[in-house]
Structure 1
Amino acid sequence: MQDAENFIRRHQLLSTVRTAVIGVSGGPDSLALLHFLWKRSSLYNISIIAASFDHQLRGDESARELAFVQRFCEERAITFEGGQGDVASFQKKHHLSLQTAARSCRYAFFEKVMKKYNADALALAHHGDDQVETMLMRMTRGSEGFSSAGIPVRRPFAGGEIIRPFLGITKDQIEHYCKVEKLFPVYDPSNESEKYVRNRFRKNILPFLKQENPNVHERFQYLSETISEDEAYILELAKIELEKVLIRQTEGKIELSVSAFNKMPIPLQKRGITLILNYLYKLNPSSLSSVHKENFLGLLGSEHPSGSLHFPSGLVVSRTYDRCLLSFEPIKREEESGFDYSLELPGHVELPNGLLTAEITDREPALLRGKDVFVFSMNDVSLPLRVRSRRPGDRMAIAGVGSRKLKDIFIDAKVPQEERKVWPVVVDANGNIIWLPGLKHKRRHTINHSEHWVILHFQKNRHDV
């Protein structure tokens, strides 16, 4: 087991561990790990607890395996914790696959034992062959990022961490250890059935790879660690760049700039999408795949200025010109956001997307400029004024151009659909549109010092970032 000891030392898996829980099923892998750490507990200065869980899926057979592990521990004065759970009922209640349900119940039990003994680590017996199988399976399914790295050497769990001391050795080495140490593990017959994907990889693919390279598990483990290290570094870069892209980030909603996102390098774009989806979903649904991320990239990279995608669990990705909104909120109908207010002179009106104020002055405001300011003579406009949302068929008279539809003005200015619904439209007493803040206004006449002037100013709300 020199290979295992070298692996533990290289990754410092036990350097800070004082109490370790060992997950034991009674099979050769976990039994060898328990025996291996038990014999070296004084060397590593650790206390060990064996934890065995009966999934109640194979009746008396699985119950006997639990009893076998308990006897094994009693004979060696190893602290033992046993548990059981009705995995089939749990699967049905939560609509999970059998493997996912079994894993959830088993890890919940491990967490309970970890907390009971204030343990630093949960040691599991995944080995090098498991790593090869896992990485090949995930590559075949189209996994990416950390997922394509396979089984991690360590990861946080229950206030401590999960460690895998046997990832550097093979199944054959474990079987040999059991023979040398005269261990007599139990064997799960389901491991021979080719109805399970993993077993098909184990029986058909792994032997070929080992024939080509007997140490193929070492190459896959090196690849796994390299992918994990690279992915962690690129994700940090993506986080930094994503901060420059986001316009708004609230619970269940993210809005970003399409042009800024498209300037990011492609590897950072892909990780940026992962970070966005992780934030929105919290726990990604199993139906979310790399295809969804590819479609997202396609939407943002498209020459068409608008479009939408529907992701699992009701997430809607909607692009309008330079903005892309991801939200679980249903899109409101246009008539639901309509408004119509009277604008007093002087006075102000609070609007869904900002504040519009009106002032009166008898001085020449010739220096006032900008798209958010409109200055006009009181003699040139029929009062009173109103501020309302757009209406079907709205048109505006523009000097030198003639009458134009508001729809066309919005399109030319690349105003997103959602913003058009709440964009203020200022009209005179006759219903004529005199100003679209930030976009267009009616022609102003020559300033006369003897007249009174109206100054309209629109201050748009800032987005929550």
Structure 2
Amino acid sequence: MFQAVDELIKKFNMIAPGQTIVVGVSGGPDSMALLHYLCSLRESLRLTIVASHVDHQLRGKESQEDLAFVAAYCRQWDVPFSGKAIDVAAYKKQQQLTSTQVAARECRYAFFKEVMASYHADALALAHHGDDQIETMLMRMTRGSSSGALAGIAAVRPFHTGVLIRPFLGITKEEIEHYCKVHSFAVRQDATNDLDDYTRNRFRHYVLPFLKKENPNVHKRFQVMSETISEDEAYMIERTEEQMKKAILVQNEQEVQVSVSTYLHMPIPLQKRAITLILNYLYKQTPSSLSSVHKESFLALLNSDHPSGQLHFPQALHVVRSYDMCSLHFLSAEQPSAYEQKLFEDQVVDVPGGTLSFELKKDIPYEQKGKDVFVCDVKSVILPLTVRTRKPGDRMIINALGGTRKVKDIFIDEKVDRTKRDQWPILVDGSGAILWIPNVRHAVIPQSDKTEQWVVLQFQNSCQDV
């Protein structure tokens, strides 16, 4: 056993001389063996070992006794001890979680972080072993997980102020139990491990024995496969990050925008990993309700022949595609409100995306042309003019015969980003007739042969989006 553990520690550079290591100890054979083993290295490697235990308050007096048991052994082995009782059931209710196991894990890992910070620890050591690795990988294959998750349990990964290490991944449960007997120390047994109520237990009781019968060293094969998948995935993630730099248009804590065409130009394996990276960036802590279905829906939205569409992800993450742009952003509690403001001569007003100026001129401004300028005979419109947001049923005159088209359809025709349409400025006259949609389209307005004064409006962009 020592040889397999020592080899894994060396292979992943888990432990360095002089480090402080926090050990998660439940009182069961796995964690007690890990604590005992690391204590045996204290003198030779000048290690500081700290034991950490959480009473999840799910098994009444039994879990209280677990805490007292671990504390007693720590006194006997001269190990600093940090223990805490946490009402996991209350936490689960407060956080609206569906899984007790997920709630317990979140509480436990939060406490481990506290202990690491308190002792300025370099690492957190947990006692997951080779059988746990097999169970985890099979469960994820059965449930359906991302390619990276199929690697199962990582031997080393970043955690809080240091790293999380699992020195026992190269050995089995049977070897650990033998170690406990050889060194003659007591352990606690959790009766829930014998129940078939949990998925992991069913794999442990029915699938694992079959695999071990076929190959007693199956845990070694699974560990090799785990490391291979992890290495391949690390390379693919690196390639994805390189390609994503070309596709990302906007990136901040509240929103990521991507170019649809550039995104779809990436190989499909990179596309699948890219959405995972984006969601990890935005969520920080991935919600349990997020699944592969959401990622598949995102890719389907980008590949759709329809130029626009939207999806709703957990925690108010809104996905909106508008032509070649797709935005993933959190909906704020305060959504932009509609606005309406009258315009007066020689006035400049702020509107979303820029400013709007209004002048009356005697001479026609031939030099002022384009979709960012509106010019017409003052007698062709009814003052005062007003700039406002769009309203249901808005229509604009688009030809000399008086034919109209819905503003909604004009936005679609001109490929206006759908996330900006509700705030886009629209100019109307005193009768309510729509005269102009800045940077989009002019209404067809009859002009007088004898124009004495011209209405001149100009829209000045403050960004490239409007």
TM-score, scaled to structure 2: 0.83
User: Does residue 38 of structure 2 align to residue 23 of structure 1?
Assistant: no
Q: Which residue identity is paired with 1:459? A: Q
- Tell me what 2:353 maps to: 353
- Tell me what 1:304 maps to: 306
The answer (yes or no) to whether the contact 2:320–2:419 under 8 Å persists in 1 is no
Q: Which residue identity is paired with 2:102? A: T
* Inter-partner Cα distance in structure 2 for 1:380 and 1:314: 47
Instruction: Report SS of the residue matched to 1:152.
Output: coil
* Inter-partner Cα distance in structure 2 for 1:200 and 1:289: 23
- Tell me what 2:4 maps to: 3
Cα offset, 1:5, TM superposition: 0.4
* Inter-partner Cα distance in structure 1 for 2:120 and 2:432: 74
Cα offset, 1:151, TM superposition: 1.5
Change (3 A) 1:366 1:227: farther
* Inter-partner Cα distance in structure 1 for 2:443 and 2:192: 79
The answer (yes or no) to whether the contact 1:20–1:122 under 8 Å persists in 2 is yes
Change (3 A) 1:61 1:275: same
TM-align CA RMSD? 3.7
User: Does residue 229 of structure 2 align to residue 227 of structure 1?
Assistant: yes
User: Does residue 339 of structure 2 align to residue 327 of structure 1?
Assistant: no
Change (3 A) 1:304 1:2: same
Change (3 A) 1:263 1:329: farther
* Inter-partner Cα distance in structure 2 for 1:332 and 1:44: 58
- Tell me what 1:272 maps to: 274
Change (3 A) 1:17 1:90: farther
- Tell me what 2:424 maps to: 423
* Inter-partner Cα distance in structure 1 for 2:432 and 2:17: 77
The share of aligned pairs that are identical, in percent, is 52
The answer (yes or no) to whether the contact 1:253–1:328 under 8 Å persists in 2 is no
- Tell me what 2:113 maps to: 111
The answer (yes or no) to whether the contact 1:255–1:323 under 8 Å persists in 2 is yes
Q: Which residue identity is paired with 2:331? A: F
- Tell me what 1:187 maps to: 189
* Inter-partner Cα distance in structure 1 for 2:56 and 2:441: 70
Change (3 A) 1:460 1:186: same
Q: Which runs of 5+ in 1 are unaligned?
A: none
- Tell me what 1:178 maps to: 180
Instruction: Report SS of the residue matched to 2:207.
Output: helix
Q: Which residue identity is paired with 1:13? A: M
- Tell me what 2:139 maps to: 137
The answer (yes or no) to whether the contact 1:239–1:272 under 8 Å persists in 2 is yes
Instruction: Report SS of the residue matched to 1:337.
Output: coil
Instruction: Report SS of the residue matched to 1:421.
Output: helix
- Tell me what 1:372 maps to: 372
The answer (yes or no) to whether the contact 1:17–1:121 under 8 Å persists in 2 is no
- Tell me what 1:202 maps to: 204
The answer (yes or no) to whether the contact 1:124–1:162 under 8 Å persists in 2 is yes
* Inter-partner Cα distance in structure 2 for 1:62 and 1:351: 62
Instruction: Report SS of the residue matched to 1:20.
Output: strand
- Tell me what 1:436 maps to: 437
Change (3 A) 1:163 1:404: same
Q: Which residue identity is paired with 1:189? A: A
Cα offset, 1:52, TM superposition: 3.5
Q: Which residue identity is paired with 2:268? A: I
1:228-256 superposed Cα distances (whole Å, 9 cap, x missing partner): 34444444444454454445555544444
* Inter-partner Cα distance in structure 1 for 2:67 and 2:391: 72
Cα offset, 1:11, TM superposition: 0.6
* Inter-partner Cα distance in structure 1 for 2:393 and 2:103: 57
* Inter-partner Cα distance in structure 1 for 2:121 and 2:180: 27
- Tell me what 1:293 maps to: 295
User: Does residue 456 of structure 2 align to residue 462 of structure 1?
Assistant: no
